[in-house]
Amino acid sequence: MKLSRPKQQRLFSLHLILGVAIVLPGMAAASGAEAKSQIDFERDVRPILNRHCIACHGGVKQASGLSFVYREQLLGEADSGLIPVVPGDVENSEVIARVTSDEEGVRMPPLEESPEGLTPEEIDILKKWIEAGAKWSEHWAFEPPEPSPPPSVENIEWSRSPIDRFVLARLERAGWQPAPSAAPEKWLRRVTFDLTGLPPSLVEREEFLQAVRNEGEAAYPQVVDRLLASPHFGERWASVWLDLVRYADSKGLGKDERRTIWKYRDWVVDAFNRDLPYDEFTRQQIAGDLLPGHDVEHVIATAMHRLTQTNGEGGTDDEEFRVAAVLDRVNTTWQTWQGVTFGCTQCHNHPYEPLRNEDYYRFVAFFNETADSDTDQEFPLARIPLDSRDYTAASRLDERIENLHGEIWREEYAALSDETMWHALHGLEAKTNNDTPMEIRVADGREEFMTLDPVARDTSITIEAAMPEAVRQMTALKLVVSPANPARAVSNSEWGFILSHLKMELLPPGEEEAHEIAFTQVISDEPRPFYDPQESLDPKSRHGFAAYSRIHYPREAAFVLNAPLEVPPGSRLRVRMDYRVTILDSFPLVARRGHLAVSGSEAVLDLFNQETWQEKRRQLAALQRQREQISATTIPVLRRRLPHLQRPTHIFDRGNFLTKGEQVSPGLPSLFSSDNEHAAETRLELADWLASPENPLTARVAVNRLWARLFGTGLVETEEDFGSSGERPSHPGLLDYLAFRFQSEHAWSTKALLREIVLSSTYRQSARTTTEQREQDPRNRLLARGPRQRLTAEMIRDQALAVCGLLSTKLHGPPVHPPIPDGVWLPFQANDRWATPDPGEEDRYRRALYTYVKRSIPYPFQAVFDAPSREFCTSRRLVSNTPLQALSTLNGAVYEECAATLAERLTQEHEDPSQQIRQGFLLMTGREPTEEELASLDNMHERMVQPDDAQSGLRAVALVLLNLDEALTR
Amino acid sequence: MMNRSSLIQEALHSSLQNFTRRHFLRESTTGLGAFWLALQGTQAAKAKTAEGAAAMGLPHHPPRASRVIYLHMVGAPSQLELFEHKPELRKLHGRPCPAEFLEGKRFAFIKGVPEMLGPQFPFAQHGECGAWISDRLPHFAQHVDDVCFIKTIQTDQFNHGPAQLMVHTGQARLGYPSIGSWVTWGLGSENDDLPGFIVLLSGGRPPRVGKALWSAGFLESVYQGVQCRGVGSPVLHIENPEGTSRDERRIMLDTLGDLNRQAYAEWGDPETLTRIAQYEMAFRMQAAAPEAMEIGRESPATLELYGAEPGQESFANNCLLARRLAERGVRFIQLFDWGWDSHGSSQAEALNGGFQDKCRQVDRPIAALLADLKQRGMLKDTLVIFGGEFGRTPMREMRTMQRAALVGRDHHASAFTFWLAGGGVRPGFTYGQTDPVGYDPVENPVPLRDFHATLLHLLGVEHEKLTVPFQGLRQKLTGVQPAQVIHDIVA
Query: Cα torsion for B482, B488, B489, B491, to the nearest 10°?
Result: 130
What pLDDT does A48 receive? Answer: 86
Q: Is the distance from CB of B391 to CB of B415 less than 8 angstroms? A: yes
Alpha carbon of B393: minimum distance to chain A alpha carbons (Å): 14
Q: How far apart are CA A339 and CA A723, in angstroms?
A: 8
Residue B274's closest chain A neighbor by CA? Answer: A881
pTM of the model: 0.85
Distances in Å between the Cα of B215 and the Cα atoms of A319, A461, A865, B233 are 27, 49, 14, 21
Cβ–Cβ gap B267/A454 under 8 Å: no
In this structure, are residues A422 and A599 in contact, taking their beta carbons and an 8 Å threshold? Answer: yes
Q: Is B286 on the interface with A (CB under 8 A)?
A: yes
Say if strands A515-517 and A501-507 run parallel, antiparallel, or are unpaired.
Answer: antiparallel
DSSP character at residue B480: S
Bond from prior residue into A564 cis (ω within 30 degrees of 0): no
**Tens digit of each residue's pLDDT (9 = 90 or more) over A142-174:** 888 888 899 999 999 999 999 999 999 999 999
Q: What is the structure's pLDDT at A748?
A: 98
According to the model, what pLDDT value does residue B452 have?
98
Share of chain A above pLDDT 70, in %: 96
Query: Distance between CA atoms of B54 and B331, rounded to whole angstroms?
Result: 18
CA dist A751 and A749 (Å) reads 5
Q: Any bridge partners for residue B416, and if so which?
A: B153
3-class SS of residue B347: coil
* pLDDT tens readout for residues A787-821: 999 999 999 999 999 999 999 999 999 999 999 99
Determine the CATH number of domain A41-136. Answer: 1.10.760
| Amino acid at site B482 | P
CA-CA distance, A649 to A657, in Å (whole number)? 10
User: What is the rounded CA–CA span in Å between residue A222 and residue A336?
Assistant: 32
Measured between CB atoms, which of A56, A824, A956 is closest to B248?
A: A956
Which of B278, B293, B410, B480 would you mutate first to test chain A, the one with the most A CBs within 10 A?
A: B278
pLDDT in tens, A891-904: 998 899 999 999 99
CB contact under 8 A, A4 and B258: no
Q: Is the CB of B45 inside 8 Å of chain A's CB atoms? A: yes
The radius of gyration of chain A's CA atoms, rounded to the nearest angstrom, is 34
CB pairs under 8 A between A and B: 345
**Partner residues linked to A558 by β-bridges:** A478, A523
Q: Which residues contact A798 (CB under 8 A, 6 or more apart)?
A: A197, A198, A807, A847, A848
Q: Is the Cβ pair B205, A826 closer than 8 Å? A: yes
The verdict on a CB contact (< 8 Å) between A110 and B2 is: yes
Higher pLDDT, A676 or A575: A575
Rounded CA separation B141/B359 (Å): 12
Give the Cα separation of B180 and B452 in Å (integer).
11
User: Across the interface, which of A8, A885, A886 has its CB nearest the CB of B22?
Assistant: A8
For B454, the 3-state DSSP assignment is: helix
In 10 A of CB A824, how many CB atoms? 15
Strands B382-387, B67-74: pairing is parallel
The answer, for B36 touching chain A at a CB cutoff of 8 Å, is no
Task: Please give the span between the terminal C-alpha atoms of chain A, in angstroms, as a whole number.
Answer: 27
Between CA A287 and CA A294 the distance in angstroms is 10
Contact call for residues B237 and B227 (beta carbons, < 8 A) = no
CA distance A619 to chain B (A): 47
Q: Is the pLDDT of residue A889 over 80?
A: yes
Q: Which candidate, B153, B149, B154, B131, places its Cα nearest to that of B141?
A: B131
Average pLDDT of span B458-464? 95
Model pLDDT, residue A104: 85
Q: What is the pLDDT of residue A770?
A: 84
**B210: chain A residues, CB-CB within 8 Å:** 256, 826, 828, 856-857
Q: Write the pLDDT tens digit of every residue in B416-452.
A: 999 999 999 999 999 999 999 999 999 999 999 999 9
Spatial contact of A508 and A628, defined as CB atoms under 8 Å apart = no
In the predicted structure, residue A678 carries a pLDDT above the cut 70: no
Residue A309, helix vs strand vs coil: coil
Local structure of A39: helix, strand or coil: coil
Neighbour tally for A749: CB within 10 Å: 15
Give the start-to-end residue ranges of the domains of chain A: 41-136, 419-550+565-600, 893-962
Q: What is the distance in angstroms between the Cα of A769 and the nearest Cα belonging to chain B?
A: 6
The answer to whether B33 faces chain A, any CB pair under 8 Å, is no
Q: Which helix (H) or strand (E) holds A836?
A: none
B411 interaction partners in chain A (CB closer than 8 Å): 315
> Is A960 in Cβ contact with B278 (below 8 Å)?
no
- Rounded average pLDDT over A459-474: 94
Q: What percent of chain A is modeled with pLDDT above 90?
A: 70
Determine whether the interchain pair A774/B30 forms a contact, defined as Cβ–Cβ distance below 8 Å: yes
Name the average pLDDT for chain B. Answer: 85
Name which of A67-76, A521-530, A890-899 the model is least confident about.
A67-76
Helices (H), A712-852: 732-743, 750-758, 761-764, 771-776, 793-803
Predicted pLDDT at A77: 83
CA distance B417 to B432: 9
CA distance A609 to A606: 5
pLDDT digits (tens, 9 = 90+) for A702-761: 999 999 999 999 999 889 889 877 788 999 999 999 999 999 999 999 999 999 999 999
Chosen from B174, B227, B411 to mutate, greatest number of chain A CBs within 10 A: B174
C-alpha R_g of chain B: 24
What's the CA gap between A635 and A117, in Å, rounded? 59
Class level of CATH domain A419-550+565-600: mainly beta
Long-range contacts of B255-258 (CB under 8 A, 24+ apart): B255/A936, B255/A937, B255/A939, B255/A940, B255/A960, B256/A960, B256/A963, B256/A964, B258/A936
User: pLDDT band at residue A677, thresholds of 50, 70 and 90?
Assistant: low
Determine the residue of chain A that is closest to B186 in CA distance.
Answer: A5
Please indicate whether, in this complex, the C-beta atoms of B469 and A12 are within 8 angstroms of each other: yes
Residue of B nearest to A884 (CA): B282
Q: Is B330 on the interface with A (CB under 8 A)?
A: no
Residue A607, helix vs strand vs coil: helix
Q: Widest CA span of chain A, in angstroms?
A: 110
Please report the pLDDT score of residue A676 as a whole number: 57
| Strand ranges, E, within B321-440 | 332-338, 382-387, 391-396, 409-412, 416-421, 429-431, 433-434
* Cα distance between residue A190 and residue A669, in whole Å: 41
Q: Find the residue in A nearest to B207 (Cα).
A: A828
The answer, yes or no, to whether residue A14 has pLDDT greater than 50, is: no
Say whether B251 and A943 touch across the interface (CB within 8 A): yes
Confidence check: pLDDT of A307 > 70: yes
DSSP three-state, residue A883: helix
- Per-residue pLDDT tens for B261-313? 999 999 999 889 989 988 998 999 999 999 999 999 999 999 999 999 998 88
Separation between Cα atoms, residue B334 and residue B365, nearest integer Å: 15
More confident residue, A113 or A456: A456
Highest mean pLDDT among A228-242, B220-234, B337-351: A228-242
Residues 149-178 of B with CB under 8 A from A: 158-162, 173-175
3-state secondary structure of B244: coil
Please report the pLDDT score of residue A525 as a whole number: 94
Of B41, B158, B263, the CB nearest to A2: B41
H, E, C per residue of B207-220: CCCHHHHHCCCCCC
Q: Residue A59's pLDDT is what?
A: 78
Residue A41: pLDDT band by 50, 70, 90 thresholds?
A: confident
Tell me which residue in A3, A344, A966 faces B471 most closely, judged by beta carbons: A344
What are the start-end ranges of the E strands in A353-393? 381-385
Residues forming a β-bridge with B198: B226, B333
CA distance A427 to chain B (A): 28
Across the interface, which of B1, B195, B264 has its CB nearest the CB of A105? B1
> Least CB-CB distance to A55: which of B6, B281, B286?
B6
Q: Do A324 and B8 make contact, defined as CB atoms within 8 angstroms?
A: no
CA distance B138 to chain A (A): 32
In angstroms, what separates the C-alpha of B65 from chain A's closest C-alpha? 20
Single out the residue of A667, A739, A751, A673 nearest to residue A702, CA to CA.
A739
Contact between A298 and A315 (Cβ < 8 Å): no
Degrees (nearest 5) of the Cα angle A492, A498, A503? 135
Of A256, A823, A882, which has the smallest distance from its Cβ to B229's Cβ?
A823
- Please choose, from the candidates A685, A680, A716, the residue with its C-alpha nearest in 3D space to the C-alpha of residue A701: A716
The partner residue sitting opposite A788, judged by closest CB among B239, B258, B267, is B267
pLDDT at A795: 98
Provide the chain B residues 84-123 that lie in CB contact (below 8 A) with chain A.
106-109, 111-113
Q: Which of B174, B185, B244 lies at the smallest CB-CB distance from A253? A: B174
**Nearest of B473, B455, B453, B472 to residue B464 by alpha carbon:** B453
Nearest to B2 among A16, A63, A869 (CB): A63
**Dihedral angle sign, alpha carbons of residues B474, B478, B482, B487:** negative
Task: Kindly tell me if the per-residue pLDDT of A283 is higher than 90.
Answer: yes
Residue A158 CB contacts under 8 Å (≥ 6 apart), including other chains: A164, A168, A178, A761
Q: Is some CB atom of chain A closer than 8 A to the CB atom of B188?
A: yes
> Is A25 a residue whose pLDDT tops 70?
no
CA gap B58, A393 in Å, rounded? 65
CA distance B278 to chain A (A): 5
Residues sharing a CB contact under 8 Å with residue A156, sequence separation 6 or more, in sequence order: none
Residue B1 contacts A where some CB pair is shorter than 8 Å: yes
In three-state secondary structure terms, A332 is helix
Amino acid at A95: V
Distance in angstroms (rounded) separating the CA atoms of residues A517 and A872 = 53
Report CB contact under 8 Å: B222, A3. Answer: yes
C-alpha to C-alpha distance for A185 and A182, rounded to whole angstroms: 8
Question: Considering CB atoms only, which of B243, B268, B480 is closest to A774?
Answer: B268
Q: Which of A965, A966, A970 to mutate to test the interface with B (most CBs of B within 10 A)?
A: A965
Mean per-residue pLDDT of chain A: 91
Strands A494-498 and A546-551: antiparallel
Task: Provide the β-strand partners of residue B170.
Answer: none
Comparing CB atoms, the residue among B12, B211, B212 nearest residue A17 is: B12
Read off the DSSP letter of residue A346: G
Neighbours of A28 (CB within 10 A): 12
Q: Could you tell me the pLDDT band of residue B472, with boundaries at 50, 70 and 90?
A: low
Q: Does B211 contact chain A (CB < 8 Å)?
A: yes
Residue A417, C-beta contacts closer than 8 angstroms, at least 6 positions apart: none
pLDDT of residue A303: 98
